[in-house]
Amino acid sequence: MKKAIQFGAGNIGRGFLAQLFSDSGYETVFIEINNQLVSLLNQKGNYPLRIVGNNPQELLVKNVRAVNIQDIELVVKEIIEADIVSTAVGVNVLPKIAPVVAKGVTARAKLNIEKPLNIIICENLLHAGSIFKNYIKLNIEKGYEKYLDSHIGFVESVVSRMIPVMDEKLKNEDPLLILAEEYNILPVDKRGFIGEIPCIKNMIPYDNLEAYEEQKLFIHNLGHAVSAYLGYLKKYQYIWQAINDSEIKNIVEGALKESGEALNKKHGFTEDEQQSYINDLLKRFANRDLGDTVYRVGRDPIRKLGPNDRFIGSAKLALEYGIIPENICAGIAAALCYDYSGDNQAVDLSKELKTKGIDMILEKICCINSDSKLTKLIKEKFKLFVKKYKDFI
């Protein structure tokens, strides 16, 4: 049986990637820090995956086991024997797993293993392939850099499957249980592979992954965030409640139309395929079984308001192609109003807004000039929202 090494046995590792590997005839070996998960996966050799939504079902993901990442020798042994590797550990953890991956690559080089090894990087990070490769280069033994370049592929991906937050009761009943929506397509960068591209169910290699990365950021992530911040202003708890509000849905659809048209012009998506993607996404947002809250989706508003992130990035792209981002700017204004006390960034943002004013925030956080067309649009929407929903400015 072919072997897949999966770094991270969390939501995406168990809730998405291992299912694809299992369905494609691979044994999946999780590399994980959580001792309880490692022990349970080794005891059972499988775990339940519950699909929630319109077509609910419970699947059993088979042929799995786990190794604790602190057992360096054993992890290296697994990498030596691997047919493919994937990561789903979080952006901040990538530098921490790089040393052991580097040891595994070095061990393959010393054994003169000629078969290439491709690493699929499933992290929410643009240019993840080159970034992770650089982390490994910093840790690899001298003299093996050429082997890294010629035998190890770094493959970026776009992960869009949504994993609901599980309540404590379900977790306690079975710590291995994972819930997921039905959507399970994994676009990957065809150019990142070295050697033959493995046949993995629902993994689709694209020549221009950047188009799908931007589609994920400027359609999926944008729509999710607009739903969350407008939902917060209207005192909803869940995303499904927000998207079922006709006023919110109209703004979300408008924002996605603006960014969608810009992406069509930039990347050549057809109007029909973009609209189909948007329609499917709106249905997924409305899936109440996901139980996704406006607080989870809206967390870290300062990061989301960054100059190249979902809001400002899509608004600038729209303007670049002659599209006025009226609805995207409404989403930006709602994000600026987000002052949820349980979110440190939201608290900081609210304080900064009160003490320094919106012009300073837009310049400092969003990196847009106070006299720009985009700033004018955002300020117009912000004044309307403050008048309608808030009284703190």
Give yes or no: residues 244 and 363 share one domain. Answer: yes
Task: Give the separation between CA 282 and CA 249, rounded to whole angstroms.
Answer: 9
Q: To 10 degrees, the CA torsion angle through 344, 348, 354, 360?
A: -140
Number of domains the chain is built from: 2
Residues 12 and 85 in one domain: yes
Range of the domain at 308: 211-389
Q: Are residues 163 and 83 part of one domain?
A: yes
**181 plus 264 within the same structural domain:** no
Are residues 195 and 233 both part of a single domain? no
Q: What is the CATH number of the domain that holds 282?
A: 1.10.1040.10
Judge if 381 and 232 occupy the same domain: yes
Q: Kindly give the confidence (pLDDT) of every residue in the chain, 393 residues in length, as a single tens digit, with 9 standing for 90 and above.
A: 999 999 999 999 999 999 999 999 999 999 999 999 999 999 999 999 999 988 899 999 999 999 999 999 999 999 999 999 999 999 899 999 999 999 999 999 999 999 999 999 999 888 899 999 999 999 999 999 999 999 999 999 999 999 988 888 888 889 999 999 999 999 999 999 999 999 999 999 999 999 999 999 999 999 999 999 999 999 999 999 999 999 999 999 999 999 999 999 999 999 999 999 999 999 999 999 998 999 999 999 999 999 999 999 999 999 999 999 999 999 999 999 999 999 999 999 999 999 999 999 999 999 999 899 999 999 999 999 888 886 544
How far apart (Å, rounded) are the C-alpha atoms in residues 311 and 329? Answer: 8
Domain boundary among the residues 165, 191, 207 is at 207
- Same domain? 199 vs 215: no
Distance of CA 176 to the CA centre of its chain: 22
Distance of alpha carbon 162 from its chain centroid, rounded? 9
Pair (29, 168) in one structural domain: yes
CATH of the domain at 169: 3.40.50.720
275 plus 197 within the same structural domain: no
Last residue of a domain, one of 207, 238, 264: 207
Residues 71 and 160 in one domain: yes
Rg, C-alpha atoms of the chain:
22
Q: What is the DSSP secondary structure assignment for residue 157, as one 8-state letter?
A: B
> Which domain-ending residue is among 167, 189, 207?
207
**Can you say whether the dihedral through the CA atoms of 24, 26, 31, 36 is positive or negative?**
positive
Residues 142 and 250 in one domain: no
User: Are residues 215 and 203 part of one domain?
Assistant: no
